Homo-oligomer: A and B are copies of this chain.
Amino acid sequence: MPKDKTPRVKTNPGRFFEDYTVGEVIPHAVPRTISGGERALYHALYPARHALYSSDEFARVCGLPASPVDDLMAFHVVFGKSVPDISLNAVANLGYAEARWLRPVYAGDTLRASSEVIGLKQNSSGKTGVVYVRTTGFNQHGLPVMEFKRWVMVRKRDPEAPAPEAVVPDLAPHVAAEDLVIPAGLDFTQYDFGLAGEPHRLSDYEVGEVIDHVDGVTLEEAEHMMATRLWQNTSKTHFDATPRADGKRLIYGGHVISMARALSFNGLANAQMIAGINAGAHANPCFAGDTVRAWSEVLDKAETRAPGVGAIRLRLVATKGGEPFTLKGEDGKYLPHVLLDLDYWALMPV
């Protein structure tokens, strides 16, 4: 980067659409060591109660060496690392696909991340383009812990810059059950339903069944900012109240995901581990003062090769009021009270 006496030259301006090349791998900065501190904060910020993430003893009975950190924490850290390189100049986060958890993350692990550009398509306006990336998180042994694809609309620095050749990747509509990665050693044959908090096993759920998770949590500015900072997510819209007349900050969509997932304990206490995310939409913006509730729908069920371990595919919907089990209007658009529509796979005792 050339030296320049103009202020701001040293700060990161972020990449613009024409700065990306298909096939390029972008290593993300600021690796992060996770400790019991991050784990405790996760439990202070979200009403998380899934027993596998709460108790080392429970995790050991399930064949793991200790209680991992919440799967969504791994996602948030990896996602946060990608923000300065991928979405600093993003106009919109358009979607997620093919997220898979590849290896549990434990206190003591150090995470880093990189993204490969897998597609580029300039928009007809010429002012923006869509960037498709596959982002992967790695632990200190260089082993992948999770991966996901996302696509964002990014501004061009120069609207006159020529459009790159359009490359649009094939994105699976959902992760196939047989492609889910089951953590080594996971075994639910000794699973203690009493300690887990609910008696329902995979066979107790039916495809099409819906569950109202009942409880609500009213969000505070301090909490969503602490969470978002902890993932070292630098997107200024979450922290700076001055651009908006109402002094609110747009809440990081991942905060809503974690809140809704934690609330889903009540009815899905045995949907222990998140193994994949098939699709996700942040349907409406979320602000401090909103009271988040959640409901789920069972989309599919599958077997796995691990002893006693099945997979359940769930739609998790977060709302800020409105009737449960309502999602879209007659126009096919999300209703105004819907915050999140997430399609994911979880592992559950059969």
Complex CA distance for A200 and B221, rounded to whole angstroms: 34
Question: Residues 217-242 of chain A: 1 if any B CB is under 8 Å from the residue's CB, otherwise 0?
Answer: 11011110111011010101001111
Residues of chain B contacted by A324 (CB below 8 angstroms): 7
Q: Pick the contact of A239 from B10, B11, B47, B226 — CB < 8 Å?
A: B47
Of the 9-residue stretches A52-60, A166-174, A182-190, A328-336, which lies at the interface with chain B? A52-60
Q: Kindly state whether residue A110 has any CB partner on chain B within 8 Å.
A: yes
- Chain B residues closer than 8 Å to A196, beta-carbon distance: 29-30
* Chain A stretch 31-85: residues in CB contact (< 8 A) with chain B: 31-33, 35-41, 43-47, 49, 51, 54-58, 67, 84
Given A38-B37, A242-B218, residue A49 in contact with residue B11 (CB < 8 A): no
Q: Which residues of A contact B (CB under 8 A)?
A: 1, 3, 5, 7-8, 10-12, 27, 29-33, 35-41, 43-47, 49, 51, 54-58, 67, 84, 107, 110, 112, 140, 194-200, 204-206, 209-218, 220-223, 225-227, 229-230, 232, 234, 236, 239-242, 247, 249, 266-269, 289, 291, 295, 321, 324-325
Is there an interface contact between B30 and A51, defined as CB atoms closer than 8 Å? yes
Apart from A41-B41, A57-B110: 7 A-B pairs, beta carbons within 8 A: A10-B198, A10-B205, A35-B37, A37-B37, A41-B44, A43-B230, A57-B140
A238 to chain B, nearest CB (A): 10
**When the two chains form their complex, are residues A12 and B266 in contact, meaning their CB atoms are under 8 A apart?**
yes
**A224 nearest in chain B by CB position:** B222
- Rounded to whole angstroms, the CA-CA distance of A43 and B31 in the bound complex is 13
CB–CB A226/B223 < 8 A:
yes
A37 to B34 CA separation, bound complex (whole angstroms): 10
A204 proximity list for chain B (CB < 8 A): 3, 10
* Copies of this chain, count: 3
Complex CA gap A35/B107 in Å reads: 10
Q: In the complex the two chains form, what is the Cα distance from A44 to B206 in whole Å?
A: 40
Judging by beta carbons under 8 Å apart, are B240 and A218 in contact? yes
CB distance from A36 to the nearest CB of B (A): 3
Q: How far is the CA of A325 from the CA of B7 in the complex (A)?
A: 10
Tell me the nearest residue of chain B to A239, going by C-beta. B217
What separation, in Å, do the CA atoms of A37 and B266 have in the docked complex? 25
Given known contacts A54-B30, A195-B29, A218-B241, A206 and B5 CB-to-CB distance under 8 angstroms: yes
Q: Which residue from chain B places its CB closest to the CB of A242 in the assembled complex?
A: B291
Contacts A37-B40, A204-B3 given; does A197 touch B11 at CB 8 Å: no
| Contact indicator B33/A110 (Cβ below 8 Å) | no
